[in-house]
Chains A and B, each alone.
Chain A
Amino acid sequence: KNEVEQSPQNLTAQEGEFITINCSYSVGISALHWLQQHPGGGIVSLFMLSSGKKKHGRLIATINIQEKHSSLHITASHPRDSAVYICAALPYNTDKLIFGTGTRLQVFP
């Protein structure tokens, strides 16, 4: 079993829908990253969280440290949001991220 699990693996949506991607982890962490990987492969860092909630434009990321769970929400989804979304957990006292296998999101017009 992976230490970082994402769900769903694949997600399709109609433009305008509210999207939620979940990430659960089994180790104690000091931070969690949400990343976006475009079809060409390049990766963009969306959020780095250690507690609470962060918002950037239509993207919202939350983390519950006690429940070892984080969510990434996209409001008013758009076809340009289509990408693979990856969560990565940073265990305590280490500099080695543990990556989830990603959620492939496709938003149709």
Chain B
Amino acid sequence: SQTIHQWPATLVQPVGSPLSLECTVEGTSNPNLYWYRQAAGRGLQLLFYSVGIGQISSEVPQNLSASRPQDRQFILSSKKLLLSDSGFYLCAWSRGGLHTEAFFGQGTRLTVV
């Protein structure tokens, strides 16, 4: 069966520090991968999506970047965190685009202090 792992679950980081959130998928190959952010009191917003290794599309300009070094690994990074980067980050995957079912990770609650 397919599973998605996202870590860490919670993170408190000082302003200006780097960030690395990792997401891995098991039990499938060549998934479409997504990073979403949910800011307090707001809906989910797509940050990045990837249809293959090394292929990243960014949806909104921001202080974050994403990489896909392996087929089932998706990493969200920042060189210097801002207070406004605080929020809940979710990784998701789908087999062939979101006209099929999407599967979400458990999320990472990031607090930048």
The answer to whether A35 and B43 touch (CB under 8 A), given A30-B99, A95-B49, A95-B97, is: no
Q: B101 contacts A101, CB within 8 Å?
A: no
Which B residue sits closest to A47, measured CB to CB? B101
Q: How many residues of B contact A (CB 8 A)?
A: 25
Which residues from A are CB-within-8-Å of B59?
A: 96
Q: B44 contacts A99, CB within 8 Å?
A: yes
Q: B42 contacts A48, CB within 8 Å?
A: no
Q: B49 contacts A45, CB within 8 Å?
A: no
Asked if B46 is at the interface (CB within 8 A of a chain A CB), the reply is yes
Complex Cα gap A37–B109 (Å)? 14
A-B residue pair count with CB separations less than 8 angstroms? 58
Q: Which of B46-60 contact A (CB under 8 A)?
A: 46, 49, 51, 59
Which B residue sits closest to A97, measured CB to CB? B98
Asked if B66 is at the interface (CB within 8 A of a chain A CB), the reply is no
Asked if A44 is at the interface (CB within 8 A of a chain B CB), the reply is yes
Q: A43 contacts B43, CB within 8 Å?
A: no
Q: A48 contacts B44, CB within 8 Å?
A: no
Name the distance in Å between A95's Cβ and chain B's nearest Cβ.
5
Asked if A90 is at the interface (CB within 8 A of a chain B CB), the reply is yes
Which A residue sits closest to B101, measured CB to CB? A48
Asked if A62 is at the interface (CB within 8 A of a chain B CB), the reply is no
Q: Which of B75-105 contact A (CB under 8 A)?
A: 88, 90, 92, 97-105
Which residues from A are CB-within-8-Å of B43?
A: 2, 86, 99-102
